[in-house]
Every structure is written in structure tokens, then in C-alpha cells.
Amino acid sequence: MKQHVSRRGAVVVFAATAAVAAGLATPASAQRAIEVVVQYTQPQIFDKVFDQLKADFEAENPDIKIKFRGAHKDYTAGIQALLREAVVGEMAHVDYVGLSYVSTIDQRGLAVDLAPLMRADNSTFEKGGWTPPLQSLGKVGEKQLGLPFALSMSLVYFNADLVRKAGFDPAAMPRDWDGLLKVAGKVRALGPDIAGMYMPYASNWYGAWYFQGVLFGLGGEMMPPGAQAVAFDKDPHFQRAFGLYRRMVDEGGFVPLADQAARQQFIAGRMGLFIDSISRLNNFSESIGDRFRLGTSPHPVGSEAARLPSGGNVAIITKAAEKDPAVLAAAWKWLKYSTGPHGTNQVIRNVGYTPVNVLALEDPKLLKGYFDDRPLHKTAVDQLPLVREWFQYPGTNAIKIDEAIGQHLESVVDKSMTPDQALVSLTKEVNRLLPR
Amino acid sequence: MRGRRARERRKAWLLVAPLSIGLVLFLVLPCLGVVAMAFSDWHLGQENIGFAGLDNFSELANDAVFRRSALNTIIYALSVTPLSVLLGLMLALLIESSTLGRAFFRSAFFLPVISTTVAMAIVWEFLLHPSLGPVNALIAALGLPRQGFLNDAALVLPTLAGIGIWENTGYNMVLVMAGLKAIPQDLYDAAAVDGAHRPWERFWTVTLPLLGPTLVFVVVISFLRSFRVFETVAAITQGGPRRASEVILFTIYQEGFVFFRIGYASALTVAFVVVLFALTLVKFRFLDRRVHYG
């Protein structure tokens, strides 16, 4: 604890020195550009965005050079590399890490708290366009460890042709589970090799992210605040959520498949509904082409208190940047730029996702009006007020717990357990994995 | 005399030094590191590392996932090894027995070995897709029910083993071909003089005994290869459904690099290597005794 306090103190001192140094060193730094090393993942999605941001940023800040390390293939590979680099002291200065790993980064103490840097700027996160829900994604306790860069949420993709054929209006898709399951069931009945619906559920640990969408959408909590143990089997929200997975199979024509196989089937036009992340939008649209008309509708919810978890990544400044106040200041500048209105604008236009900075939405040069003629994309933007953090269980077994949830959902879907049996078994397993 | 021998010995050491240093640096030390970490509670990226004694190993003994994946791996290896060796042997004999299209068949059957497993896994996934795949289209055309080859807990391991056989057969075939080339023609002539005219007799009296050493090698190698199955599982099934296709390397990967439990993953690795090493020794001993080295 003591160490943490002194570290935070150090950050403030560094930030202050950095500000002073930046003021004093302007003429000298014209010769020696400060290099900020940046690491991101998923080159196929983000290369274009980052190249553009780098060009614009360096034009505005000639004294800073952005250097990218080779992008990792996905968030898992990215965090693995970061943790290894932390051991040998070779972290990049700025890293874009998957949202589910924020607590991992906090436990290891790898990131610089951004709040003191913001205070040293004499500004606030709100003024910069990061609303409290957006801040919460990179927050652990009082520490602001990161700011969102690319943000995704679940929503319903649907095959509008099949929905119409089944006798429903694609323009008025139901927002509740009962209505949606009815649509899916009718689509299923259209033919023997047509599936009603799918959502990723178990094939990997991130199946738990989609589950959080179901549970939070019903107003539930993964763990009551302040609790030391879980009791899913006695939690009405969990009972409803697990019951829904069984109902999806029984009523909604849900097919037990691996995610990739299910996506292929949806793209081939033989599935009614697919609940997936908005980050898939461009991928789905391009793969589908004009095979059928693609539609999107909001994620189903069942409560006034409904929320939806966010996926995607946050930008952090690693402790490696702390060594040199000038680098820290430059990294902070880049982080604000890439997660700010300009970064948001680039991500939305080039890839999809949902906006991570509300200032961009008010600027006609950026995103104001952009979504008006893009109804598929707009569905996700409209859900933005519901966003909350991707919940992580405390302790070192957090990811293993996510995997256990996926395994149990799998048992519900393939009917080797009833929802109640699965909840009893899961409760036992999660309590074993939680820190004592 | 003595000075010369010492000089030679020095020279010998000097010559093997680069390799030895490399071996120690990149093989021996990392292995020792893994053994050491197996006794720790280290999580990837954590600053402090604690001594865990035998905790990891006692967890391993009671870990239902590990038992499941060990069993799956053994079943997989025991189905892939004999079938891919047998098929490899048959293909090699068939192709070598005639000059017709030899080069073509040789490369056709070797193709699965040189192609990227992960890419091939995705092709297989599509071929076996329950509603889109051609395999199921054929099954449905015959009036039989469609099968979820990769989504049915009862079918997934046999299906993966089938892909494994497809992948390993070509490799075994090439090794057996090399063995066949080494059998001198005069032995066949001598056998013919002794009255072995029929192909079966020639195979039984000449080919098989002389192929013995090659076959031992092929069996051991393909057993080890199939024990290391990982790519198809990681690319297609992720160990599912419900761990029906979870294999040891995938469990180790998950524990170490997805759950970040390096200590436990190291313990799994140590156990895996020990078992593999023991099995290899037993195999060589057992098979060696029955093999005739020409």
C-alpha cells in the first residue's frame, strides 16, 4: 500500500517536472524528437487507423515521433506479450489492451494512473469528452488506468429477408427476449437447415462477455458489490439468464456450434439472428454482400436497470514511460489524441465500433451527422448510454472463472445439465476459484 | 604422444563448443527453468514469485480437466499412430510398386504434411460444417441425418483423429519409402530363387524384416507427433464441446498463457515430458527386441 502511495506521488512529481521541462526544453527538443513506443493488436483491423493517427499527430507535434511495434494478433497475445515484457523491463510506452485485462494490469501495477496527469493539465476527463461511463471502463478503484480507444457492444444482427419470410417486420424488431425468441423460432421453422439464432457462448473464455450482456440486460450483477463469495443458484437474475440459454435452444432454434462455424452459417444466409459485437459490422456487411439484406437491432433487455458490457480496448501508459518525464508527457499527449475526438473519428470511419469520445459527436467536421444515413451502425451508438465495464472477478483466477462460466453455459445449451444444476455446480466452482 | 592426444581432445572440445553452448543456453537452461517454475506460484507478469512446494503437483493429481485432457491425448495418439503408420506403409508399397504416376502420388500424399496445419484446420472446419459443408451435404443426399462432426462431444475426438491421420500419413509414407530404397535388390532375387514368388511372400520374408528399424522409428516418431497435437484443437474446437477435445498441450497453453498460471502450467509440462520420455524409452526397448537390424 505504502508503495502505491509513493508511486502516485512520483507520478505527480514527474508530471509537474514534465510540464516544466516541456516549457523549458522547446527550443532544444526541435533537434531531438522524443520517441514514444506504441503497441497495439489486430493489425487487420487497426493498421489503417494507427497509420493515419500517427501522420496527423506528428504533423501537429513535430517534436514527438511515434514508433509502432509490430501489432499482435489479438488481445490475448497482446496481454501475454505485455506481461512478458514487464518481467524483462521492455514494455512499450503506450499499449492498447483488451478491456477484460484492466484488472490484470492493475494487479501487476503495470500502468500509470492518468488522473494526476489530467489534474496537472488543469483539466478534467469530462471536459475532454470522456463521460463517466466511458471513464469507468479504464478505472479500477480510484485509479484511472486507461481510456477507451475502440469500444464495442453486443447487438442483434439479423437476416431481414428471413425475418420477413417468417412473418415479421424487420423495421420493428422486438427489444425483449420473449419477442426475439418468437422471431427466431419462426425463422427456424422455415426449413430443416435454417437455424433460428446464435450467440457466442462457450467456445472460449470470452463467451462470458456475451453472457454479461444477457445478465446485465436483465439488470443482474456478476457479483454483489462487496461480496466475498457468489450464490448464483439463489440469484433470480442468474436463474433467468441461464434459463434464457435453454429457451434459446428450445424456442429460438439456437444451434450448438463453434463461433466461426456459426458465423459462416449466418453469412451464408441460413440463420435468422446473430447476437454479436458491433466490431463485426464491417466484416459481416462485406462477407454478406447482397446475398441478403442485413439488419441490426438493439441487444434484448429485460429490466429498467438494464446495462450492457463493453468490449474492445483501452489505451494505457505503462510504467516504462515513467522513467523519462519528457517521454511520459509525450505519451500522455498521444494517449489523449488517440482516444480523443480525432482518434474516435478515425476508428468509427475506418473500422466501426462505437464512439469513445462524445466531443467527436458534436463536431460537424468529425462525426456529427455521420450516423444519420447509417442505420446499422447507429443501433450501436444508440445503446451507448447503457454501457458499463466488462466485469472481472477479483483475484488471479479471473479469466479461469470466465472460462468456467462458458463451460457451464455449454452444458445448458447441449442439455447435459439443467440450468439449475449448472448454477449449483458453477457456484461451487467459482467460490473455489475466488480469492480467500 | 600424450601431448598430441591432449591437443586433439582440446580441438574436439573446441569444435563441439558452439553447439554445446547453444544446447545449454537454449535447451538445458530453459528446461531447468521450467522445472524450477513448476515449484513456484508465479503468475505471468507478477513481480513477486513464491515457493509453492509440491502444491502444483498435488493440484495436478486432483485436476479433473488435466485427467480428461490426458485421456483424450492418449486416445488420440493411440488411434492416429497405428492407422497413420499402416496407411503410410500401404501407400509407400503401392506407389513404389509401379512407376505409373509415382511422382504425382508421392507429392499428392505428402501435401498435407507441408501445408500449414492451421489453414488446413479451417478448411476442414468448413468441409465438416453441419449445414454448409459438402460432407454433410453428401450424408444428407444419402438420406442420413446430418452430423455435427466438430460440435458433438461424441464425434469430435474421432474427427480430429481422422484429420490427424490425414496429416501424418504422408509423412510416414515418405519415411517408409526411404526405408524401402535401402533394401538391396539381391535379397529379392535370392528370395525368388528360394521360391518366394508371390508378392505377399516377398513382403513377409524380405520387405517387412528389413523395414523393421525404419518402422520402429516411424512408430515412435508418429506417436510423439500425435502426442503433441495442438493446432487443430486450438484452431477449430478450443478443446470443446465440454472438453471433449481438450488435449494436453492445449491445457498447458490455456493454463500458462490464457490464465497466466505459469507455475501450474510448468508443473503440467514437467509431468507431460516425464511421461513422454518414459513411454519413448519403453517403446524403443520393447520394439528393439523384436527388430532385426540388417
Residue ranges of domains in chain B: 64-289
* pLDDT tens digits, one per residue of A240-273: 999 999 999 999 999 888 888 899 999 999 999 9
Across the strands, what pairs with A195? A271
> Angle of helix A325-339 relative to helix A2-24, nearest 10 degrees?
90
Cα–Cα distance between A148 and A396 in angstroms, integer? 23
| Confidence band of A397 (pLDDT split at 50, 70, 90) | confident
Per-chain mean pLDDT for chain A: 89
Identify all chain B residues contacting A82, using CB atoms and an 8 Å cutoff. 45
Question: What is the pLDDT at residue A1?
Answer: 36
A225 and A141 assigned to the same domain: no
Tell me the mean pLDDT in the region A267-290. Answer: 92
Decide if B257 and A256 are in contact by the 8 Å CB cutoff: no
Decide if B45 and A86 are in contact by the 8 Å CB cutoff: yes
Containing structural domain, residue A337 = 2-151+310-381
Q: What is the 3-state secondary structure (H, E, C) of A3-66?
A: HHHHHHHHHHHHHHHHHHHHHHCHHHHCCCCEEEEEECECHHHHHHHHHHHHHHHHHHCCCEEE
Q: Structure pTM?
A: 0.81
Of the two residues A31 and B170, the one the predictor is more confident about is B170
Asked if residue A177 lies in contact with residue A268, where contact means CB atoms within 8 angstroms, the answer is no
Tell me the mean pLDDT in the region A19-30. Answer: 47
A59 and A206 assigned to the same domain: no
Query: Which residues are within 8 A (CB) of A309 and not within 5 positions of it... i.e. 6 or more apart?
Result: A153, A154, A209, A212, A213, A216, A387, A388, A389, A390, A391
DSSP assignment letter at B25: I
Distance from CA of B230 to the nearest CA of A (A): 16
Is pLDDT at A335 greater than 90 in this prediction?
yes
B131 touches chain A (CB under 8 A): yes
Decide if A256 and B254 are in contact by the 8 Å CB cutoff: no
Is pLDDT at A3 greater than 80 in this prediction?
no
* pLDDT tens digits, one per residue of B205-238: 888 888 888 898 899 889 888 988 999 999 888 8
Tell me the mean pLDDT in the region A128-151. Answer: 91
A302 and A160 assigned to the same domain: yes
Is pLDDT at A219 greater than 90 in this prediction?
yes
Cα–Cα distance between B81 and B167 in angstroms, integer? 11
Find, among A183, A237, A180, A247, the residue nearest to A214 by Cα. Answer: A237
* Nearest residue, CB atoms, A411 vs list B130, B242, B254: B242
Of the two residues A100 and A297, the one the predictor is more confident about is A297
- Tell me which residues of chain A have a C-beta less than 8 Å from any C-beta of chain B: 76, 80, 82-84, 86-87, 104, 107-110, 193, 195, 202-205, 255-258, 260-261, 264-265, 268, 270, 396-397, 399-400, 403, 407, 410-411, 414, 416
* pLDDT tens digits, one per residue of A358-396: 899 888 889 888 888 888 999 988 888 898 888 888 888
A342 and A216 assigned to the same domain: no
Cα–Cα distance between B222 and B210 in angstroms, integer? 20
Domain for residue A388, yes or no?
no
Q: Give the chain B residue whose CA is nearest to the CA of A75.
A: B258
Q: Are strands A311-317 and A294-297 parallel, antiparallel or unpaired?
A: unpaired
A140 and A197 assigned to the same domain: no
Domain for residue A214, yes or no?
yes
Domain for residue A225, yes or no?
yes
Question: What is the pLDDT at residue B200?
Answer: 85
CATH no. for residue A275? 3.40.190.10
| Confidence band of B293 (pLDDT split at 50, 70, 90) | low
Of the two residues A356 and A25, the one the predictor is more confident about is A356
Question: What is the pLDDT at residue B117?
Answer: 86
**Grid coordinates representing A258?**
463453434
Determine which of A50-64, A201-215, B34-48, B86-100 has the lowest per-residue pLDDT on average: A201-215
Question: What is the pLDDT at residue B241?
Answer: 85
Question: What is the pLDDT at residue A7?
Answer: 46
Cell 535401402, residue located: B182
Question: What is the pLDDT at residue A5?
Answer: 42
Is pLDDT at A8 greater than 80 in this prediction?
no
B260 touches chain A (CB under 8 A): yes
| Confidence band of A50 (pLDDT split at 50, 70, 90) | very high
Question: What is the pLDDT at residue B216?
Answer: 87
* pLDDT tens digits, one per residue of B24-41: 999 999 999 999 999 998
Domain for residue A386, yes or no?
no
Per-chain mean pLDDT for chain B: 89
Cα–Cα distance between B211 and B193 in angstroms, integer? 21
A223 and A285 assigned to the same domain: yes
Determine which of A3-17, A146-160, B89-103 has the lowest per-residue pLDDT on average: A3-17
| Domains: count for chain A | 2
A317 and A246 assigned to the same domain: no
State what percent of residues in chain A have pLDDT above 90.
62
Find, among A375, A355, A381, the residue nearest to A366 by Cα. Answer: A355
Of the two residues A267 and B52, the one the predictor is more confident about is A267
Question: What is the pLDDT at residue B13?
Answer: 92
Question: What is the pLDDT at residue A341?
Answer: 94
The CATH homologous superfamily for domain B64-289 is: MetI-like (1.10.3720.10)
Decide if B261 and A396 are in contact by the 8 Å CB cutoff: yes
